[in-house]
Amino acid sequence: MTKCDMCEKEAAYTRKYSGQGLCSGCFSNSIARKTAKTISKYNMIRSGDLVAVAVSGGKDSLALLKIMHEMSASHNFGIVAVTIDEGIQGYRDEALGIVREFCDNLGVKCMVYSYADLFDMTLDEALVLRGEEKMSSCSICGTLRRRALDVAAKDVGADVVATGHNLDDTIQTFLINMLSGDTERIGWMDPGAQTSHPSRIKPFCEIYEAEIVFYAFTNDIPFQSEPCPHMNEGIRTEIREFFNSLEDRHSGAKNSLYQSVLKMSRIARNSGQKVGTVCGRCGSKCTGEVCSVCSTVLRLKGQT
């Protein structure tokens, strides 16, 4: 039996990059501590803030909600869960049920906002409207979700929006941006570069996805079993598999890339290089005259 490095119990998880073995309890504590450290390092939450935790029903967001809920009991901030219903038939219903039950059990208020109410169209309808356009399902969906979360945050009076994005998500997004020539976005990847209100925070940004999966498993967190039908349409799944196989052979590779992304982000911001402007229609951050949300909605509705 391999013993936990922190107590006398049997180790349930071994961190390959450090060799540290931990029992379930010590592992869960280490994830909660790491999350708290990230929040404090980047000053993500201030005393008295109301944090809207974006909860999709997946493992990352439910794990984040659990940890933020525990943290809010001993710190001076409040939380509310916000869920976005994209309108994907046969997919979202299971997740909404899981989120509602999970929030009820924790005693956390949960608010649901739908694309249908906010944009007058479900994602299913938007995908039909896109016609021959080459926008991927996930790029339309992600664009609308960003705006939906902003609306949700303002509606609940939140100061901060917390999402469950982990370290893997960050490096995947970095590579996707590089492959599409979106270099301006590098400046926004530093967690300390927040300028918007409500601010966007990713308290899991320094934690591997595999560790969040194990945290969810060992804490019996229920999560959606049905994957989104559009999940494999974009390049993200291939990039995820590439990074996973790299990490398998070269432990710590993902973390090294993450640290490099942070350095590049700071260099981009400090160089005075243009890292983005403000949308002329809605005032949100963008890289041109009109932000991607406004231009996507206008295009889909045939107003451009």
Q: How far is the CB of 224 from ligand SF4 (least distance, A)?
A: 10
CB of 228 to ligand SF4, least distance (A): 3
Partners of 208 in beta bridges: none
Confirm or reject binding of residue 228 to ligand SF4 (CB under 6 A). yes
CB of 222 vs ligand SF4, minimal distance in Å = 18
| Residue 157 CB partners (closer than 8 Å, separation 6+) | 50
32 binds Zn ion (CB under 5 A): no
Sole binder of ligand SF4 in the list 231, 267, 278, 298 (CB under 6 A)? 231
Nearer to Zn ion, 29 or 273 (CB): 29
Quote the CA–CA distance of 172 and 86 in Å, as a whole number.
22
Question: Do the Cβ atoms of 111 and 83 come closer than 8 Å?
Answer: yes
Strands 78-85 and 50-54: parallel
On whether the CB atoms of residues 170 and 189 are closer than 8 A, the answer is yes
> What whole-number distance in Å separates Cα of residue 57 and Cα of residue 62?
6
Q: Residue 122 Cβ, how far from ligand SF4 at the closest point, in Å?
A: 11
Q: What secondary structure letter does DSSP report for 229?
A: T
Of 178, 197, 53, give the one whose Cα is nearest residue 189.
178
Helices and strands of the chain, counted as H and E runs: 11, 9
Q: Report the residue number, 4 or 161, with the smaller CB distance to ligand SF4.
A: 161
Contacted entry of ligand SF4, Zn ion, none for residue 78, CB cut-off 5 to 8 Å set by kind: none
The answer to whether the CB of 107 falls within 8 A of the CB of 78 is: no
Count of residues near Zn ion by CB under 5 A:
6
- The answer to whether 287 and 277 are in contact (CB under 8 A) is yes
Per CB under 6 A, the segment of 21-29, 204-212, 215-223, 228-236 that binds ligand SF4 is: 228-236
Residue 209 interacts with ligand SF4 (CB under 6 A): yes or no: no
What is the nearest approach in angstroms of ligand SF4 to the Cβ of residue 130? 12
- By CB under 6 A, the residues from 109 to 168 that bind ligand SF4 are 137-138, 141-142
Amino acid symbol at 77: F
Q: Are 27 and 214 in contact (CB under 8 A)?
A: yes
What is the length of the chain? 304
- Residue 246 interacts with which of ligand SF4, Zn ion, none, CB < 5 to 8 Å by class: none
Lookup: tokens for 21:
């073995």
Cβ atoms of 96 and 57 closer than 8 Å: yes
CB of 31 to ligand SF4, least distance (A): 24
**Token pair listed for 28:** 């869960």
SS3 14: strand
Task: List the single partner that 298 binds among Zn ion, ligand SF4, none, CB under 5 to 8 Å by kind.
Answer: none
Nearest approach in angstroms of CB 171 to ligand SF4 is 18
Listed residue (73, 75, 77, 54) closest to 65, CA to CA: 54
Kindly state whether residue 23 participates in binding Zn ion, applying the rule CB under 5 A: yes
- Asked if residue 26 binds Zn ion (CB under 5 A), the reply is yes
Task: Single out the residue of 6, 36, 96, 290 in contact with Zn ion (rule: CB under 5 A).
Answer: 6
Q: Between residues 23 and 62, which has the closer beta carbon with respect to Zn ion?
A: 23
By beta-carbon proximity to ligand SF4, the closer residue of 231 and 298 is 231
60 binds ligand SF4 (CB under 6 A): no
Kindly tell me which of 138 and 275 has the beta carbon lying closer to ligand SF4: 138
- Give me the residues that bind ligand SF4 (CB under 6 A), please: 86, 137-138, 141-142, 228, 230-231
